[in-house]
Amino acid sequence: MSPSYENLPSDDEEFDESQIDFTDIEEQYQVRLDEGLDAFVVVDGLPVVPDDNKAKLIKFVLRKLNTVGKVKEDGVFMPLGDDGKTEGYAFVEYNAPSEAIQAVKQLNGTPLDKKHTMAVNKLTDIDRYGREGRIDEEYTPPTQAPFEQKEHLRSWLGDTEGRDQMVMFRSDKVGVFWNDKEDAPDQVVDRENWTESFVQWSPQGTFLTSLHAQGVQLWGGKAWSRQKRFSHPGVNLVDFSPSERYVTTWSHRPLQVDENHPVPSLTLEEDGKNYIIWDVATGKPLRSFTTIDVPSTVDEEGNPVKKKMQWPTFKWSSDDKYVARMTQGQSISIYELPRMNLLDKASIKIEGVMDFEWAPATPKRDGIKIYEQLLCYWTPELGSNPAKVGLMTIPTKEVVRTRNLFNVSDAKLHWQSEAAYVCVKVDRHSKSKKSMATNLEIFRVREKGVPVEVVDSIKDTVINFAWEPKGNRFVLITTGEVIAQTAVPPKTSVSFFATEKVKGGAVGNFKHVRTVEKKNSNAIYWSPKGRFVIVATLQSQQSFDLDFWDLSFEKPKDDKDDKEKELNANLQLMNTVEHYGVTDIEWDPTGRYVATVASAFRHRMENGYHMYDFKGQLLREEHIDGFKQLLWRPRPPTLLSKEEQSEIRKNLRIYSKVFDEADLAKKNTANKQVVESRRRLLAEWLAWRESMVEMLKEEGAIIELNGGRLVREGEDEDEDAEEIEEIVEEIIEETEEVIG
């Protein structure tokens, strides 16, 4: 049948395309971005070559492109310009969209040769962000926002009474309070549902950290407003760098970043990652990482040992310039801040490495005048090779000291706070592997050649070790029993060590001072200022003792032991107290007060806290249902020089008088306030009574007021009077005489 032309418009009529239905043709030929172009990437930054060399260039580029996926046959299109040369870019098609995503993640910014670096982007992204109209053709300089005065983030340090703050997490409430010694804490702020898991201070007390399902928030200032927000869905743990410039967040669940539903501050770079390292000032992520599986191990009986995650996984140097993490048994990767590039573009290969620790302060090695940071690591026995402890300087990666060890079961690294020493606690087994003992290998970092002093007088296993902050003494706890998961803790011994007195200001060898036996202690908590230490039994159902020790007690010369006369220690037990269910101990940053906590995170019995002074005298206690945390707000390093601090110590008695007067005035002020309150209440009552008397007089119910007693009309004053006689016995003097 021939087509009909009757309905065609005449030349005079205007043709309207909207009346024609093209849907069937559009569906047949439409290119869907999600299906058609998701496997395409655009590779930029390529060399410009003539047409004759194009095939060689494509073959060379394919070597890189095929490392992350499979490029389709004839899947590279490299256009030519009018001059017959390539344009410096190419369109590449992979077999699957997932391969294109991996190409963007892994190849973007990869050097192709010394002069060219590839820029790899998804074709759909270029279409989405570079479409006409999305970017202005003319450059418009950014507008500078007007200056806004921000809150002082360290205003709490200006407290006229020199008080410290603490945060308390109880039930659903989180509050910040001033510590007022014996009095109840003075509330600063108290909010419900401030966190969804726990709270944490930054190392210098600038920020209070709260954790939520969608990420981490930092709070500070007088108004306790939100200062920063870091988006990390499912975050579990947080760790700050020492100077608070950077923060690490971790989640056990890999991140899922959808480009169609982006998470603030996160890109496809973070997809599938567990760790994110952030810049605190900008709130931007610097780099993200996946969790490295810890190699599985078995015990002597062949049973698998439960894997323990090491936290923090990323460990910071003392000056925030480096952050490092270990691939157990293989290497240590050190990254430079803030670029987060791998130091010297390579990890440090250390076969069998089990653990490492940065020096907590900038080291001061003898004769070394250039900048350096130190880290200590250890490796177990491998075949016929002994276990080894190494001291490495960064950034040169030079190993400046090693120590070979034999019959090693385990080792722990303990740096002294000023990086003057690092103690390697070595658990050794006998040849039959039936008994254990511990040696202490102490590296004296500041002395020439870094000599190692060995303390091998310990016959039992050391279960806890702690250096005195900024000092030359340490405490350790030993046990001769096998520690099992039982309700009854093993019997332990507490040993104190100090250096010998040496003429000329040198530091002597470490010697044993005293051992206290038949204890159940398992925890050591030094005052942040040194000298005082608490040895405690935590998380036990049977014992909950806290021993308060003074290692510089001023004894008369006649009372000192012969051993103490030769050592830099005068040991004195000041007090022993009990706190049922104690789980945590927190010293305030000045070393004046200490709080012991029974946390609901551990158990639900008699939750709350006790507050003591440094001598172990109880100041107050509070039992609070659902009490979870008490954390003192840290203080930043002092701005006073050593000379100024020394001058203050010399004149401490003068300052003490001023402080005592201030404390007395405060106490008198408090008493005065109580008296004034009582007077006010009495005056209010007398005024009310006077008004009642006037009202009764007006009603004719009272004719007079006699000596404070109301006399009704027609009532005899003595009619209802009743006389009461009371006999009181009083002992004037009492003498007791013993007759033989």
The helix/strand/coil state of 150 is coil
* Residue 225, Cβ density class (10 Å: 0-12 exposed, 13-18 middle, ≥19 buried): exposed
Share of the chain above pLDDT 70, in %: 87
* CA dist list (Å): 675 to 1, 98, 186, 670, 678: 115, 77, 21, 9, 5
The residue that leads in pLDDT, 166 or 726, is: 166
Q: What is the pLDDT of residues 352-387, one digit of tens each?
A: 999 999 999 999 999 999 999 999 999 999 988 999
Q: What is the pLDDT of residues 296-342, one digit of tens each?
A: 666 656 666 666 788 999 999 999 999 999 999 999 999 999 999 99
The least confident of 30-44, 65-79, 519-533 is 30-44
Task: Please name the residues in contact with 76: beta carbons below 8 A apart, sequence gap of 6 or more.
Answer: 58, 61, 62, 65, 90, 91, 92, 93
The CATH superfamily holding the domain 40-130 is RRM (RNA recognition motif) domain (3.30.70.330)
The least confident of 28-37, 233-242, 397-406, 469-478 is 28-37
Give CA–CA dist 252/569, Å, rounded: 46
Comparing CA positions, the residue from 107, 108, 111, 126 lying closest to residue 66 is: 107
Rounded to the nearest 10 degrees, the angle between the axes of helix 642-650 and helix 652-698 is 70
What is the structure's pLDDT at 662? 79
Mean pLDDT over all residues of the chain?
87
Q: Is the peptide bond before 141 cis (omega within 30 degrees of 0)?
A: no
Give CA–CA dist 181/320, Å, rounded: 36
State mean pLDDT over 419-430.
Answer: 93
What is the structure's pLDDT at 527? 97
Give CA–CA dist 654/716, Å, rounded: 69
- Is residue 159 predicted with pLDDT exceeding 80? yes
- Strand pairing category for 436-444 and 452-455: antiparallel
The helix/strand/coil state of 216 is strand
Neighbours of 315 (CB within 10 A): 21
Q: What is the pLDDT of residues 532-580, one digit of tens each?
A: 999 999 988 888 999 999 999 987 766 656 666 788 899 999 999 999 9
Domain boundaries, the chain: 40-130, 174-293, 317-456, 458-634
CA dihedral of residues 464, 467, 469, 470 (deg, nearest 10): -170
Supply the DSSP symbol for 278.
Answer: E
State mean pLDDT over 38-59.
Answer: 91
Task: Please name the residues in contact with 640: beta carbons below 8 A apart, sequence gap of 6 or more.
Answer: 648
Comparing CA positions, the residue from 373, 338, 343 lying closest to residue 357 is: 373
Which CATH number is 458-634 given? 2.130.10.10
Give CA–CA dist 494/488, Å, rounded: 18
> Does 458-634 match 40-130 at the fold level?
no
Give CA–CA dist 462/428, Å, rounded: 11
Give CA–CA dist 412/389, Å, rounded: 10
Q: What is the pLDDT of residues 167-183, one digit of tens each?
A: 999 999 999 999 988 88
Structural element, H or E, at residue 54: helix 54-65
Residue with tokens 């759909």: 124
- Is residue 644 predicted with pLDDT exceeding 80? yes
Q: Model confidence at 424, in pLDDT bands (50, 70, 90)?
A: very high
Three-state secondary structure readout of 394-460: ECCCEEEEEEEECCEEEEEEEECCCCCEEEEEEEEECCCCCCEEEEEEEEECCCCCCCEEEECCCCC
What residues are paired with 474 via a beta bridge?
467, 497
Q: 317-456: which CATH number, 2.130.10.10, 3.30.1360.120, 3.10.105.10, 3.40.50.2000?
A: 2.130.10.10
Give CA–CA dist 337/7, Å, rounded: 76
The residue that leads in pLDDT, 405 or 506, is: 405
Give CA–CA dist 218/229, Å, rounded: 6
Give CA–CA dist 255/672, Å, rounded: 60
Task: Please name the residues in contact with 154: beta carbons below 8 A apart, sequence gap of 6 or more.
Answer: 205, 206, 636
State mean pLDDT over 210-233.
Answer: 95
What is the structure's pLDDT at 560? 59
Do 406 and 430 form a contact (C-beta atoms < 8 A)?
no
What is the structure's pLDDT at 634? 97
Q: Which of 14-23, 117-126, 276-285, 662-671 has the highest mean pLDDT?
A: 276-285
What is the structure's pLDDT at 561? 67
- Is residue 720 predicted with pLDDT exceeding 90? no
